[in-house]
Amino acid sequence: MLQLPESFLQEMRELLGDEYDAWEKSYEHNEGFRGLRVNTGKLRPEEFQALSAFSLRAVPWTRNGFYLEEQAQASKHPYYAAGLYYLQEPSAMTPAACLPIKEGDRVLDLCAAPGGKATELAAKLRGTGVLVANDISNSRAKALLKNLELFGAGNILVTSETPERLLNYFEGWFDKILVDAPCSGEGMFRKEPSMVKDWLEKGPNYYAEIQRTVVTAAAKLLRPGGQLVYSTCTFSKHENEETIERLIKEEGFTLLPLPLPEEREALGFAPGLGACAGAARLFPHRLDGEGHFVALLQKNVCSDNSAATSPKHKEKADSKGALKKLPEEWLDFAKDLHVKWDARCFRLYDGRLYVLPEALTGKNIRSLRFLRTGLYLGEVKQKRFEPSQALAMYLRKEEFALSVDLKADDERVFRYLKGETLDLEDLAARGAKGWCLVCVDGYPLGWGKLANGTLKNKYYPGWRW
């Protein structure tokens, strides 16, 4: 059995009382549970169930989450490359499921990498509004961007900034915020024993100070009346309830009931402690998942911080990259596209063409450290346009004139994902040529150039298997 620090075990005895022995016994199941969350931006959960060959069992607290059998090679399946699902620990699906997003919302995932929660928030927006996905680590933000583009998200701004820097541009701007805070990771000890070493070196007190800084900034980034989900994967009251109490007392927030099934205690959710009973604690002895804490709060309209509803500095609209006329190369390519964007949302930077979320078109964010603004369409080259991998993932099969659809068990799918040239004479229409959207069972994987029944592979090299 995993050896845990005695000071941590004493903390759990005080927290759990009569349930301590059951909690300790749960650590005999060291492997934890694997989960798969369906990308509802591409298909409904029941459609995926009908399509998938995996053995799946529903995660009862989220409509699009499933337990995945241990031997399933889900990360090596073509449906993963098509962005149909994200592999995520079942308890970790809870925070994004509890943020009540509406289409058109301005949403911030403040500590977003590697993207498990951000991809769900993007799917819930259904291509509307905007998702700002931030992580202070630039290297982790790169993984975040890949996962969002794999999911087909286009209404995004991916940044790598401190929360304090974001305040210069977005104070009082967001409708919804998710703070999955850096924490001591006590709830993940069973699944990731290596985290015990970090706990011994730093511990809850170290992370509580970081959390205070993060949520204080988040409070100011949220508009009055906006809602915030705070979550951790730790058991510490110091990092959980005390952080929530601070938001209520010092930042003008009200704790709201979580939008979970009414029978949530029967599912294994425990209430938060004391005045934070409306929050939820997830314990591994009560349910099939790791340890987590989740709370939903609303910023009071009359709070002291509600006066700030616009950036601190006087903002000038960013006209850099704006186009009076779209490039002819793009217009020629777009004849085969069955998607329309507002011409005011296009931007061209160094030959790379983007379409921005409408909410960002009037904001000057050029001095932010960001990895992506909006949907990257592709590159304008001399007398031609080369579409991006992000555009392929954003589209549906029927939204591009020329496509080829392979079955998931067709060996050419795997050859395509490795970057090989394909023979498609049996599938390509006679004489068909030009840019082709390559799909698996109706869902895009990427681009190819088709001529005489042969597909020249244009799958993004950085994603190849």
Residues forming the active site: 233
The alpha carbons of the chain give a radius of gyration, in whole angstroms, of: 23
Tokens of 420: 């090989």
What's the CA gap between 300 and 306, in Å, rounded? 8
CB 457 within 8 Å of CB 419: yes
Q: What count of other Cβ atoms lies within 10 Å of the Cβ of residue 410?
A: 16
Paired with 87 in beta bridges are 36
* Terminal alpha carbon distance of the chain: 36
CA torsion through residues 44, 45, 48, 50, sign: negative
Please give the C-alpha separations between residue 34 and each of 22, 68, 139, 234, in angstroms, as whole numbers: 21, 5, 25, 19
Please give the helix or strand (H or E) that residue 214 lies within, else none: helix 204-221
Place of tokens 């977005």: 170
- Is there a contact between 170 and 219 (Cβ–Cβ < 8 Å)? no
Give me the amino acid identity at 122: A
* Cα–Cα distance, 456 to 173 (Å, whole number): 45
Partner residues linked to 131 by β-bridges: 107, 156
Give, to the nearest 10 degrees, the angle between helix 163-170 and helix 204-221.
Answer: 10
What secondary structure does DSSP assign to 189-205, as a single string? TTT-TTHHHHHHHT-HH
Q: How far apart are CA 358 and CA 134, in angstroms?
A: 19
Identify the three-state secondary structure at position 278.
coil
Is residue 82 within 8 A of residue 440, CB to CB? The reply is: yes
Q: Two tokens at 206? A: 């170290």
Which amino acid is it at 449?
Answer: K
Residue type, 142: K
Q: Give phi and psi for 387, each to the nearest 5.
A: -70, 155
